[in-house]
Amino acid sequence: MRVVWLWVFACAWGAGLLAPLHAETVTVGAEDDWAPYSYAMAGQAEPQGLSPRLVRAAFQTQGVQVNFKVLPFSRCLHDAEIGRLVGCFDTTRTQANSHSFHWHTTPLFREELGIFARSGVPGREASLPDLVGHSVGITVGYTYPTEFMRHPGIRRHVAVSDANLLRMLAGGRVDYILVNTRPAQHQLHRMPELQGKVQRVGALHMDSFWLSFSKVHPDGQRLSVVFEKGLQTLMANGQYQRMLADIQQAPRP
């Protein structure tokens, strides 16, 4: 009987059905103000949204437990870059930061980088050329496409948050703003004073987002590989698709 139980235990362990006795625990930075993907909620110690769910689930498939440190995105990215944190989400990959972090192969998800203007602006679907000669608001500490950031014909103005960015636009201080579409709609739902004053008029492109891993932290490169394996496991067993569907099928505010 003892031999049989040892055999059953060995099979279960090999199939990944038993957790290791001493699971590795890592601390990852989570941005605090980007609903519905990653955000802090009053009375909740854990970050909310799709990204922390994905990150926790992917690591768990590889026997790694996750603690989250919730903080503003600019601090989150900085702490990962200097090695204070092993990683930070949600980060877009650009020419400016591509060599600053270790990147897993598969993005967490994709989200439109929308162009917003004041309501009533006529014209076709706007794109990068339509921003030339205009003032465009962006959020400080966020990453934007290199071709936009380096374009000499675009006047860029910064705000400390997406909410302030929307107020800046509604107040006429800039002609356009760049903001991810679904998060912008969530912000507007919480800002009734701006209802009917701003609108999406186009898109720059579809952004891909990653958990950026520190090049300075001793575990950064290794965990980027571990995390990619976890993402692939979630995609193979259907859990990734179900999590993504929860966000995509939820009614937009």
Q: Find the helix or strand (DSSP H, E) in which 234 lies.
A: helix 220-237
| Distances 45 to 39, 86, 217, 231 between C-alpha atoms, Å | 11, 20, 25, 25
pTM to 2 decimal places: 0.85
> Tokens 């235990």 correspond to what residue?
9
pLDDT bin (cut points 50, 70, 90) of residue 15 is: very low
How many residues appear in the chain?
Answer: 253
Mean pLDDT (whole number) for 96-116 = 97
Confidence of residue 12 (pLDDT cuts 50, 70, 90): very low
Q: Look up residue 70 and give its two tokens.
A: 């919730």
Decide: 197 and 119 in contact? Cβ < 8 Å.
yes
What top-level class would CATH report for the domain 24-109+208-249? alpha beta
Choose between 238 and 7: higher pLDDT: 238
Across the chain, what does the average pLDDT equal?
A: 91
Closest to 175 in 3D by CA, of 203, 143, 198, 205: 198
Q: What is the pLDDT of residue 248?
A: 78
Q: What percent of the chain has pLDDT over 70?
A: 89
Average pLDDT over residues 52-70: 98
- Chain centroid to Cα 222, Å, comes to 21
Domains 24-109+208-249 and 111-207 share a fold: yes
Where in the chain are the domains?
A: 24-109+208-249, 111-207
Q: What is the residue type of 203?
A: A
Residue 250, pLDDT score = 59
- Between residues 95 and 128, the one the model is more confident about: 128
Mean pLDDT of 164-172: 98
Q: Which CATH number fits domain 111-207: 3.40.190.10, 3.30.1360.120, 3.40.50.970, 1.10.3720.10?
A: 3.40.190.10
Residue 212 one-letter amino acid? S
Which one has a higher pLDDT value, 10 or 207?
A: 207
Q: How confident is the model at residue 2 (pLDDT cuts 50, 70, 90)?
A: very low
- Position 51, amino acid: S
Q: What φ, ψ does residue 218 adopt, rounded to 5°? A: -65, -20
Give the tens place of pLDDT for each residue, 39-59: 999 999 999 999 999 999 999
204 within 8 A of 196, measured Cβ to Cβ: no
Place of tokens 């699971």: 23
Residue 252 per-residue DSSP state: P
pLDDT in tens, 192-243: 999 999 999 999 999 999 999 999 999 999 999 999 999 999 999 999 999 9
**What's residue 117's pLDDT?**
98
Mean pLDDT of the region 162-186: 97
Residue 8 banded pLDDT, cuts 50, 70, 90: very low
Sorting pLDDT into bands at 50, 70 and 90, what band is 17? very low
Separation of alpha carbons 132 and 153, rounded Å: 5
- Comparing CA positions, the residue from 48, 76, 60, 73 lying closest to residue 24 is 60
pLDDT computed for residue 121 by the predictor? 84
Q: Quick count: other Cβ atoms within 10 Å of Cβ 92?
A: 18
Distances (CA, A) of 118 to 42, 92, 194, 227: 31, 26, 10, 41
Give CA–CA dist 229/62, Å, rounded: 8
Within 8 A by CB and 6+ apart from 69, the residues are: 27, 28, 29, 30, 76, 79, 85
- What integer pLDDT is reported at residue 5 of this predicted model? 45
